[in-house]
Chain A
Amino acid sequence: MTSERPGDAGSCGPPGVAASAALAPAGSAPASAADDRAFFCAQIERLTDRLYGTALRLARNRADAEDLVSEAVVKAWACRHQLHDRACFEKWILRILTNAFFSQCRRVREASLDARADDAHEADGDEGFEPFSLFDRLYQPFLLWWGNPEQELLHKLLREDLDAALDALPEHYRLVVILVELQGYSYAEAAETLAVPVGTVRSRLNRARSALQRALWEQALAAGLVHDTPAREPPHD
């Protein structure tokens, strides 16, 4: 079973984006078909790296990511008349791509027990959750004028360190980080996309960020970028 969601072929846009006027600049006369096509092609060329990067983070393998980008481009072209404002093109097509990914996930999950496993995991609540903050590990206020260890670590981390830390997160944490941190979804938009309550998005984000920072810390330790030190006490005033 598949349900139609914002970004699917029947309803392409995020809230406030879907409307009429085929790819026409807001407030202008309707664009010609040739102008529509030229604009669409130019935007795809401009955004290919962004579409592919997002698809790769979501799908986690190159072949699926390439299929996802292609599917999003076809769907976007098919429902281009629903884009009201050309300025929203990037957000609009990324939404289409993301929804295509989640539609595929739902199809797969409905045929498996993964969803139930996720639900069972989340039923654990906050038991066993230990918050972790890179900042609390690294910040040294007495070094304020001579050094900045926490910013230095960010500069030293490789892209592959970040990728590995993100990729190692449990699926329901990884996806919420991609939606909120990489794509700038609001909590409500992420909740709608993931079909979970907003409170669940907050809880997953909280845990995901902690797990991500812990993974980065452990990678930094293993690479000799930092030395193990007790966590600084967070403020209690």
Chain B
Amino acid sequence: MTDRHDIDCAAVVAQLLAYLDGEIDAATRARIDRHLEHCRGCYTRAQFECALRGRLQELGVEKPSEALARRLKGLLDTF
């Protein structure tokens, strides 16, 4: 049985990435929150998208070369 506050799986999937981006209005967010508490398929999908994002975020950290480290040290010494 559904009520007017429910949201179905298709609507959750359509809005899931915007939801994970924090780009969704509070009322819809609350409805998706409730849906994810009860729907294993959508919850698993959300977990997967979060984990993929986590792997991508690893790319934002990279050890610099010795040359850059020296260059930065030289710059900081001039400040």
Contacts and interface: CB of A to CB of B under 8 A. Distances in A.
A73 B71 CA distance: 11
A180 B51 contact: no
Interface in A176-234: 177-178, 180-183, 186-187, 202, 205-206, 209, 213, 234
B33 interface: no
A180 B55 CA distance: 14
Contacts of B44: 139, 150
B59 A162 contact: yes
Contacts of B47: 151
B26 interface: no
B51 A66 contact: no
Interface residues of A, number: 49
A166 B56 contact: yes
B67 to A, nearest CB: 7
B57 A181 contact: yes
Given A135-B45, A235-B8, A37 B79 contact: yes
Contacts of B37: none
Contacts of A181: 53, 56-57
Contacts of A53: 59-62
Category for how many chain B residues contact A: 35 or more
A197 to B, nearest CB: 14
A100 to B, nearest CB: 14
B72 A70 contact: yes
Interface string A153-186: 0100101001100100000000001101111001
Interface string B3-41: 000001110110001100111000000000000000011
Contact of A159 (B23, B52, B58, B64): B58
A205 B53 CA distance: 13
A9 interface: no
